[in-house]
Structures are given as C-alpha cells and as structure tokens.
Chain A
Amino acid sequence: SQQGEEDPQALSIQEGENATMNCSYKTSINNLQWYRQNSGRGLVHLILIRSNEREKHSGRLRVTLDTSKKSSSLLITASRAADTASYFCATDKGGLVFGQGTRLTINP
C-alpha cells in the first residue's frame, strides 16, 4: 500500500518558473527520499533527507521535511524543459514505500 499522498498529481508550468511538489506520509520515518523518473525509465535518486533534518539543498533542488506534520516538499527552482518527469517521494521501512507521484511538465 502507498505510504502517502503527493500533490499535485500533475503540474504544468513555464520554463524558468519554480515548481513545488508536496508529499505527506502516515507513519514515523528514518528518512525520506525523492526520485525522478523520465517517461517510464529507471528512477534517478535526487535527495535523501533524514528525520532529524529540516531542509536540504542540491543544486536547483530544495527539500524540506516537517516530521510534526508528516510532510515534505520538493522545490525545483528556475525550471528547465529537461525537468519534465514524474517525481516521487518515498519513505524508508527497509524497502521503500512510494507516494503516488507528481507528473511535472515544463513548457518552453
């Protein structure tokens, strides 16, 4: 079963704008990971944030974690056409439990 929900399910923005995706989960976690998947291909790992961390950056990506609200967000700044993909959050219980995913489309 899915651990949580992601919203929005789909997001379409113009190139150069920022994209924010949210993830909620149900149980306590050790860490939360974000992945990108291009058009049915393999998953690319983006960021891992641990339960004792509140924010993490990697290039144009910023991830926040609020364990009191059991939620996380992924912000992509200055979006590019190449960012068009599906984005998934996943919580770690040994194996990963994935959210439903957000399908992001960047329009040129």
Chain B
Amino acid sequence: SAVISQKPSRDICQRGTSLTIQCQVDSQVTMMFWYRQQPGQSLTLIATANQGSEATYESGFVIDKFPISRPNLTFSTLTVSNMSPEDSSIYLCSSTGAGGPGETQYFGPGTRLLVL
C-alpha cells in the first residue's frame, strides 16, 4: 500500500493567480498521477507524472495550464496556472505504491480549490 499526503488541503484563490499543490508518497514509487474532480462530478485524469522526464498529459489538459514536476520518486507537484472560477475543483494525486502498474491505486486526501 501507499500513504499519500497533499498540501494544501484547501485554498481560496483569486482569478489570474497560480497555485502549486504538493504530493508526497511514503515510499519510492514509479508512477504518480494527478486527477481533477469538478463539483458533483467524477474524477478525470489530468496527467501521469514521470520521474526524470516530462509528464504525460491526457486530452484536454496542457502543460502550460497544469505544469507538473517530479523531482524524485516520492514527490510531485501540480500547478494550476492563471486560474479562473472554472478551475474550482478537488485535485487529487495517486500512486500504485510499490506495486507498480496494474496494481491498486491509492489516493491522497485531495486539495479543494475555490477560485473567486
């Protein structure tokens, strides 16, 4: 299994600003993922954070809007850039832990973002 923490847990931001969300895993992991959950909706995969290379983004998400860093095997950040009210969502990171691809994915508690 994997224990995942995120910071901040919530934030209220002004439009046009940026927020960086941190995700920490309690063990070295190969794969980390970022998801968005808009109000009342299901989760949507934003990108896969790859250690030592560029993140892989899903359709509809771009690096300029959601830059991701993965400096080591336990940590990743997601930045929500030039925010608008439509970015108000819960942002969650996940990892398969030591299990690797195709195994159970564990989620952090999420970062609740409100953009005014």
B62-95 interface with A by 8 A CB criterion: 90, 92, 94
Main secondary structure of the interface of B (DSSP, over half): strand
Q: How many A-B residue pairs have CB under 8 A?
A: 57
Interface size of B in residues (CB-CB distance below 8 Å): 25
Known A42-B92, A42-B108, A43-B92: A96·B101 in contact at CB below 8 Å: no
Asked if B105 and A33 sit within 8 Å, CB to CB, the answer is yes
Asked if A2 and B42 sit within 8 Å, CB to CB, the answer is yes
Rounded to whole angstroms, the CA-CA distance of A105 and B58 in the bound complex is 33
Residue B31 interfacial (CB < 8 Å): yes
Chain B proximity mask over A1-26: 1 for CB below 8 Å, otherwise 0: 11000000000000000000000000
Residue A59 interfacial (CB < 8 Å): no
In the complex, which residues of chain A have a beta carbon less than 8 angstroms from the beta carbon of B59?
Answer: 1
Contact of B112 among A31, A35, A40 (CB under 8 A): A40
Give the bracket for the number of chain A residues in contact with chain B. Answer: 20 to 34
Given contacts A90-B105, A96-B35, 9 further A-B contacts (CB under 8 A): A1-B59, A33-B105, A42-B107, A95-B47, A95-B48, A95-B58, A96-B45, A99-B42, A101-B42
B interface residues (Cβ-Cβ under 8 A, vs A): 31, 33, 35, 42-45, 47-48, 58-59, 90, 92, 94, 101-110, 112
